[in-house]
Amino acid sequence: MIGTIVNTACILAGTLIGSVLKRGLGEKYQSALYTAMGLASLALGVSTFTQNLPKSEFPVLFILSLALGGVAGTALDLDGRTQRLIARHGGEQLAGGLISACLLFCVGTFSIVGPILSATTGDNTFLYTNSTLDFVTSMVFAATYGIGMAFSAIILFCWQGMFYLLGKLAASSALLQGTMINELAIVGGVLIVASGLSLLKVKDCKTLNYIPALLVPPVWFIVRSLFS
């Protein structure tokens, strides 16, 4: 878990530094950073999607995942409930920023594959690389949205901890090998793009309503393994 602990600490450190910088930034500079985060989300999401889609063995699975996940998330109103909860304590702008940060920190390939490699081989290279990226990103987010972005570190720790435990429990399982991780990354890339569109106010995609889409690939592979 040392890699995940380092990653969490880097986000907290970046948030503290960014929140201090925020005090000296005028409104026009905060607006520029807000736009920068939207553009970065679009770039990272498109990159994740395009890198992983050619390696997919089931190229329509991400469409099925988004459709089923979107219906389930909309029925549960995940986006609305989360937005209202965060806005009640920190404002609507923080809610949008925190959701976008959590998606960037959690659904990237490094943040999924990293803890699994750490658990199965002891290799923390992916997590240390991710820590550096998240340190810089959290600074910019905190300079835009404030100290409330520290909550994203807690969510990241739980997210990576889940994959670390899965790696420990099923180190030899085919479910944790390349194919399923690849499908998760494709869906994650689309969610990051959706987050970027929301930040740029191009389209409010209600991204959290599509979070259940991340559950579809694991379920697909579990069911498939039962009949293979």
* pLDDT reading at 130 higher than 90: no
Distance, in Å, from the CA atom of 20 to the CA atom of 225, rounded to the nearest integer, reads 50
| pLDDT, position 5 | 94
User: Do 122 and 169 meet the contact criterion of CB atoms below 8 Å apart?
Assistant: no
* Confidence label for 24 from pLDDT (cuts 50, 70 and 90): low
| pLDDT, position 156 | 92
- Name every residue whose Cβ is closer than 8 Å to that of residue 2 and which is 6 or more positions away in sequence: 118, 124
Lowest-confidence range among 110-124, 159-173, 213-227? 159-173
Mean of pLDDT values over 9-35: 83
Lowest-confidence range among 64-68, 138-142, 224-228? 224-228
| pLDDT, position 171 | 56
Per-residue pLDDT tens digits for 174-225: 555 557 778 888 888 898 888 888 878 888 888 889 989 988 988 888 888 7
Average pLDDT score over the chain: 83
| pLDDT, position 224 | 83
Mean of pLDDT values over 90-95: 68
Domain ranges of the chain: 2-226
* pLDDT reading at 164 higher than 90: no
**Beta-carbon count within 10 A of 39 CB:** 12
* pLDDT reading at 72 higher than 80: yes
| pLDDT, position 62 | 93
Of 44, 199, 170, the C-alpha closest to 107 is: 44
| pLDDT, position 90 | 63
* pLDDT reading at 117 higher than 80: no
* Confidence label for 108 from pLDDT (cuts 50, 70 and 90): low
* pLDDT reading at 75 higher than 90: yes
Mean of pLDDT values over 138-152: 86
What residue spans of the chain are helical by DSSP H? 2-22, 27-52, 61-76, 78-90, 92-106, 109-121, 125-145, 151-169, 178-199, 216-226
| pLDDT, position 228 | 67
